[in-house]
Amino acid sequence: MHGRPQLWPSSSMAQLAEIGPYFAVTVGPVAEDSGWLPVSGLYSEVPVLCGLVQRLAATLGTEEERVAASVLVQGLAARLWSLTLGS
């Protein structure tokens, strides 16, 4: 099993992926040690979400976890909307 799942098989999705990584859709099994997390893991596993927010806060250089959480939500929304807007 590879670290990253395969790109979505649809030709239109493959064309979107050529625009850039925010337009790439992947599906399929993922190796457990790959670091990939399904979106459902962000709201079903609170410690995972808290850890992600804390790491993002450190990356951003802020002690304000609310700032990191806001940036995380904005990034996720941008990723999801890019598929709709790109197609």
Is residue 4 pLDDT above 70, yes or no? no
Round to whole Å and give the CA distance between 16 and 25: 9
Locate the domains of the chain by residue range: 6-29+37-86
**For residue 69, what pLDDT band results from cuts at 50, 70 and 90?**
very high
Q: For residue 4, what is the DSSP state?
A: S
Tell me the per-residue pLDDT of 11-65, one tens digit each, with 9 for 90 and over. Answer: 777 787 888 877 777 777 777 887 777 788 888 889 989 999 999 999 999 999 9
Beta-strand runs (E) in the chain? 6-7, 26-27
Round to whole Å and give the CA distance between 36 and 22: 15
Report the first-to-last Cα separation within the chain, whole angstroms: 30
